[in-house]
Amino acid sequence: MDNLLSMEHLSEADIMRIIKRALDFKENGVQPFEEKKYIANLFFENSTRTKTSFEMAEAKLGISSIPFDVNFSSVSKGETLYDTCKTMEALGCDGLVIRHSENKYYEQLVGLGIPVINGGDGSGSHPTQSLLDLMTIYEQFGTFKGLDVVIAGDIIHSRVAHSNQQALEKLGANVVFSAPPEWQEAHQGDAYRVLDEALAEADVIMLLRVQHERHDIRARFTKDDYNRLYGMNMKRYDRMKKNAIIMHPAPVNRGMEISEELVEGEQSVIFRQMKNGVFVRMSVLTEILGSAG
Ligand code: NCD
């Protein structure tokens, strides 16, 4: 695999190989690369989990993360994304992890001689989040075929929803959506359900963060209204199947997408998702930079 740009580009076999290697790393540990490798993590949008989790994965594989802070870089002098990336290549980086607010920013990077791992592009794709979500689902159920998954919330603005829909359908899960009308996507129209109905059958309830920063107008909901109409709360929790799981990519708006008391509740796997993110990113880096020694 040369790059990891979106889940569309991965086959079922690619996805399963990455997940199984991540599970093996989780169970048996990992050996650092024998050959020295250098990665720059270029984050043009804020991040806590994805950036730190890549840094942790790189550290565990013995890869040097070359510091790059967009606010102190020549981007503020108007340097293009392409020239910033070409510079990293010229300086000797073996690969780049990039997060950027522009959908499909990576199309500008044809001509770059080093691999790119997409850490999230606008409302487009977030392949490593999807892979860690898939790893967490697979760890729980041992299969994707026939699982009922409901993705709930700000669908239209969510790169997590887009990547997970592509991947889960490819893997044989049944995906339905639940969202306020203004955050539904037209082409998914017939797959929308009322959350109260969908969650009773669901094996996986995947909540999405309300993407305030991608809205032109302020959302019409208060935190409490959103939670009551579209979020997970104790009332809905009681109607879930007993082996179903609640997922959220985080950061969580506590009390909005999910009630405070459920974030670390028994059926929530939110912090397990984060933990699995390190193993999935080690697996992706191994896939792209060559096998660990
Ligand atoms: C997600 C993202 O940035 O797309 N967060 C993450 O990477 N864990 C989800 C979000 O911010 O809503």
Q: Is 163 in the pocket of ligand 1 (CB under 6 A)?
A: no
DSSP letter at 67 equals: P
pLDDT digits (tens, 9 = 90+) for 59-110: 999 999 999 999 888 988 999 999 999 999 999 999 999 999 999 999 999 9
Q: Is 209 in the pocket of ligand 1 (CB under 6 A)?
A: yes
- Domains in the chain, number: 2
Can you give the pLDDT at residue 186? Answer: 81
- 146 and 14 together in one domain: no
Give the contacts of 239 (CB within 8 A, at least 6 positions apart): 196, 199, 200
Q: Is 95 in the pocket of ligand 1 (CB under 6 A)?
A: no
Can you give the pLDDT at residue 189? Answer: 66
pTM given for the model: 0.96
- 75 and 179 together in one domain: no
Considering only CA atoms, which residue is closest to atom 9 of ligand 1?
249
Q: Is 250 in the pocket of ligand 1 (CB under 6 A)?
A: yes
The parts of the chain modelled with pLDDT lower than 50 are 292-293
- 258 and 283 together in one domain: no
- 14 and 65 together in one domain: yes
Paired with 65 in beta bridges are 39
Answer yes or no: is 56 within a domain: yes
Answer yes or no: is 2 within a domain: no
